[in-house]
Chain A
């Protein structure tokens, strides 16, 4: 029983340490110069992306965008 209590305490400490440190340091966050682009929300188009540390613009191309994206009054009530 004592071993189980110790393991549970270690588990609680590990959970709080790993979760908090990861949330603070955010090791997976995109870094300027890193290949690719940062995660983007809806309706965002990047004008290029990083490759080998250089920003490589893409050829401007207007996307077929339908404009209004609202779901209408049913979702707004």
Chain B
């Protein structure tokens, strides 16, 4: 796979199919988004103490697409407790499930360090996630057993119980976890496809040129990386502006010493500083395609020094790296072999 064209030619260094894997983490999120489109069936019951109140009938569906989820919340006054009996009735009025919810709601004020505010906590809600076994109509029967204040005295208020019924609720935390885990695996896949070279050679030099001879080439791209650094001979800050773009020369010769590439281009020289240190740096990457594997010599050359506005920047080090067998997700500019290319 990964066949596309560069100038009408098939480029074997282009690998596109791993990019499609970026869609995989979106699948659980899309499912989650679609499930959120399902509007819940709302229930509202006003429950006086001692009376049993029935909700309107609702349908619980059984199937593979999600599962029913019932949620109930009792609106109770601050600093009160509640004991609420809840029963699930089937279409014939038979109780198929009953439970008691012990709820509470508390609030108060706080002050600390000259600041103050109010706080409130509550546990007056319950959620039931279950399958009905077979689809059918159900009802909730709610009965208020106790509604007490903080002193344990009964409160005369009726309680409003709000509910919602969803028939296709999903396991949202699992979907989010799946998306995150899939993204992690896809990142490893992309790293394995685009970030790993067949061979890698590095040469660091204190001079303004560096060279590597290695067995390189073959399928895929060859990447030449150049990193250079110049410093002032003293600790004083620079007097002037950073220099203009500098010349970078790259020569590639084969096993017999025959030149296969002579490239000369201008690269941007950046001024960096950190904690009182100042230096100039160049970071540049070039791509080649050496179809035949063999012994090649790569040599780069950069200026030994810069003299700008009274600053004399001297070469600190130059690092040359060569990697082969690389694949790319998009077309990259490749230097042509067996010729000379001037300037950029």
Chain A residues packing against B (C-beta within 8 Å): 1, 4-5, 8-9, 11-13, 15-16, 18-20, 22-26, 29-33, 37-48, 55, 57, 63, 65, 67-77
Contact = CB atoms under 8 A, between A and B. Distances in A.
Interface stretch (B51-59, B122-130, B284-292, B302-310): B122-130
B202 interface: no
Interface of B: 18, 21, 24-25, 27-28, 31, 64-67, 79, 81, 85, 87, 95-104, 106, 108-110, 112, 117, 119-121, 123, 125-133, 148, 150, 152, 170-172, 174-175, 177-178, 181-182, 185-186, 188-189, 192-193, 196
B181 to A, nearest CB: 5
B16 to A, nearest CB: 13
Nearest to A28: B171
A43 B123 contact: yes
B131 A29 contact: yes
B121 to A, nearest CB: 4
Instruction: Return the 3 tightest CB-CB contacts between A and B, nearest first.
Output: A19-B178, A76-B119, A73-B110
Contacts, number: 161
Contacts of A41: 125-127
15 contacts: A5-B189, A20-B27, A23-B31, A24-B64, A30-B130, A38-B128, A39-B129, A40-B128, A41-B127, A44-B101, A45-B100, A47-B85, A55-B97, A71-B121, A72-B108
